[in-house]
Structure formats: C-alpha cells, structure tokens
A = this chain, B = another copy of it.
C-alpha cells in the first residue's frame, strides 16, 4: 500500500522504483535489504522514498503484488492441461511452467527464493498467506485417490508437503544447474520415485 504520492507518479518513474526494489530484494533477503540501496539505484531522494512508502515492508509488499500481477498475466496465457490429467502430469506441468517463468524472469524468481530463506516475522506472515496453491495441489491428490490412481491410505498433506519441499529445493539450483531440460528430467525422476517408490517389487 504505497501512498497517494506514489500512485500519482508517472508510469515510468513507478517502474524505475519498482525495478530498483526488485534489484535489491533479489540480491539480499528482506531483512538485509537496504532502503538506501533502493533509493540510490532508483535515483530518488531519501525524503521522496518516505513520501511514497511507509517503510521497507511497504515497498516490498507493493513489489510482490506487482510481480504477482505480471505472473498472473503470463500464466493466464499458458495453455491449459487436459482436465483429466493425473496428479503427476499436473504437477509436472506446473513445474514446467514455473521453470520457464523462472528462466524468463530470473530476478523475480530470486526474490521468491530469498523469501523462502528469510525467517523474519513479516516474511513469515506473508508466506502464510500464499498457501492457496497448496490446497489446489492437495485437491488433485485427493481426486486421484477417488479415481483409484493413488492409494487410499496415503496421507495427502504429506505428499503435498514433500512435493513442495522438493520443488523449492530444486528451484534453488536453477542457475547453477545447467539446462532447463536437465532440471525437468531431474524433477520428473523425483516424481517417479514418489509415484512408484524405489523398492524392488
């Protein structure tokens, strides 16, 4: 929730400030990021910053919302998957999309990863808000239980947690770990393990 003064700014100037924020928050985690750095990059004065935002949380929130909008914009243009696809197909598809997104907007992705690393009060609250995604995934697991694709006695929450954890973990390596295909392969292999187990039958 930036102040009115900020909203009155020209789109270009807003963009400059947004970019500066992204640059800072993709480099240092929230608690270590510095307003000083942002205003230097954006080329605005200290006083102006506080005329635009209340504090660091304020601009962070604004930035996250903007990123969210952009992401939604892109994702809405993504081809939908066959509605009958099973959990794994769905998840892999989501992973593919997420991976592409991360490659397209590496800065935005970094912001997300650093968010995962942060443990400040504020970020914890923020993270707690973005759990609807997990509910959807859980729904997919349970549908597959209904359809007899996944065993009844499996704990859906646990599966979701595992997949989520592994997914985040893999995203961390994204810039180290060479090509997109390699990463997708790795993900697919992990999912196969979750699906079929590693034990010899």
Dominant secondary structure of chain A at its interface with chain B? helix
Q: A151 — which chain B residues lie within 8 A by C-beta?
A: 198-200
A165 adjacent to chain B (CB < 8 Å): yes
Q: Which residue of chain B has its CB nearest to the CB of A165?
A: B169
* Copies of chain A in the complex: 2
Q: List 12 A-B contacts (CB under 8 A).
A: A114-B119, A150-B200, A151-B200, A154-B193, A158-B189, A158-B193, A161-B169, A162-B193, A165-B165, A165-B166, A194-B194, A195-B198
**A residues whose Cβ falls under 8 Å from a Cβ of B:** 29, 31-32, 114, 117-119, 148-151, 154-155, 158-159, 161-162, 165-166, 169, 186, 189-190, 193-201
Is B166 within 8 A of A162, CB to CB? yes
Q: Bound state CA distance, A148 and B118, in angstroms?
A: 42
Report how far A189 CA is from B197 CA in the complex, Å. 13
Q: Is the CB of B200 within 8 A of A149?
A: yes
Min Cβ gap A147→B in Å is 9
Q: Is the CB of B198 within 8 A of A150?
A: yes
Find chain B residues with CB under 8 A from A117 CB.
117-119
Residues of B within 8 A of A199 (CB): 149-151, 195-196
Find chain B residues with CB under 8 A from A200 CB.
Answer: 148-151
In the complex, A194 Cα to B194 Cα: how many Å?
6
Instruction: Known A-B contacts: A117-B117, A117-B118, A196-B199. Give 4 more (CB < 8 A).
Output: A154-B198, A166-B166, A194-B197, A195-B197
